[in-house]
Amino acid sequence: MILSHLRLHQFKNHENSSFDFCDKINSISGPNGSGKTNILDAIYTLSNTKSYFNHIDQQLIQFGKDEYSLKGMFRANESDSNLDFQVLLTLQNKKKSLKKNGKPYSRLLEHIGTIQTVFITPYDISLVFEGSEERRKFIDFTISQINKNYLFALVEYRKYLDQRNAFLKSNFGRNIDSLILESFDVKISPIADEIHKARKAFIDEFIPLFEENYKFISESSEVPHIDYLSPLNNKSMLSVLEENRTSDLLSQRTGLGIHKDDIEFLLNNQPLKKFGSQGQIKSFVIALKIAQYQYFKQNSQQYPILLLDDIFEKIDSQRSQKLMERMCSTEFGQIFISDTHSERIIEHFNPFDVAQKHFTLVK
């Protein structure tokens, strides 16, 4: 996938900005607050219908304005300009709309997976330190880009889960109608089993990609691993709900299920969160994201767009140079990279014979 043109209108701190990009390395430099990261986030937002950093749409509008729009010209096949398509995302009167080649989507979900992006930012350590929801989001986002049925199953599961929780709450302290509760369980269980099966298959495919990337980035003999933690690893969702019915009635919510799944990050069989050094954690997270890129590529048969925000602040110069060398190979497609120092970007990429375009922003 190639993004050849991007226009931002009243998006964050960009009043009206337009960019024409090359097919390989696009660097964006400038001081903090000049809007470098916002350009990368605009690409991500066009691709995924929401911001990487802020899911409250109104907060993406430039201060003092009442709407924003993003327009991008994409090419699905890097070598065939006849396959160009335009995506226009607008937020007006608190309503978001998305059009592809002028035709609006009936549901924003239909756009997911059309343009696959991988975003590596300084905030990604939240995958390690935040709660299980962050890690589930990583899994769900990755699978949904490839498997639309999985995305729709997630929406359906959440609908029935909300209905079951509302029923539990509204009947607290009463003699609950077990037949009604069982009817919710019968609806939700096969969907949960389907989601769990997809997650498990994803983890099995993802782990070898991740482990190879960690060894490349860390240049060490450490053994990284990912464990998928789910009550459905050993039993069906229906069994889980039946066994926990009493506690669900008392807590007025569904306490166990695929909505509580987690993945544990391990290094040499020890929890990364507790025992990992700063460098190990940075290497672990970057390896996760590069593996995500490879997973997209091998399942969609096209290059995702790679967004790198302040990557040189994450790892030392020797490792970053080695990583940039790899990214300049045919293994990767179009790349967008931001940094406060344009000289540092040029220094890293000058040795490589690849298409490059550099943009400098002022505050």
Domains of the chain and CATH, by start: 1-116+302-363 (3.40.50.300), 131-300 (1.20.1050.90)
Edge-to-edge order in the sheet of strand 25-29: 117-120, 305-309, 335-339, 25-29, 356-360
Residue 81 has pLDDT above 70, yes or no: no
* Structural Rg of the chain based on CA atoms: 22
Q: Residue 56: which residues within 8 A CB-CB, separation 6 or more? A: none
- Averaged pLDDT for residues 78-100: 83
3-state helix, strand, coil in the chain (%, to 5): 50, 25, 30
Q: Are strands 117-120 and 305-309 parallel, antiparallel or unpaired?
A: parallel
pTM for this model (two decimals): 0.89
- Averaged pLDDT for residues 262-281: 90
Cβ burial of 317 (10 Å; 0-12, 13-18, 19+) is exposed
Q: What region, left, alpha or beta, does residue 111 occupy, with left being phi > 0 and alpha being psi -120 to 50 degrees?
A: alpha
Residue 49 has pLDDT above 80, yes or no: yes
Residue 172 has pLDDT above 80, yes or no: no
Q: Tokens for 124, please give them.
A: 């990604």
Q: Rounded to 10 degrees, what is the CA torsion of 326, 330, 334, 338?
A: 10
Residue 306 has pLDDT above 70, yes or no: yes
What band does 230 get if pLDDT is binned at 50, 70 and 90?
very high
CA atoms of 332 and 108, how far apart (whole Å): 28
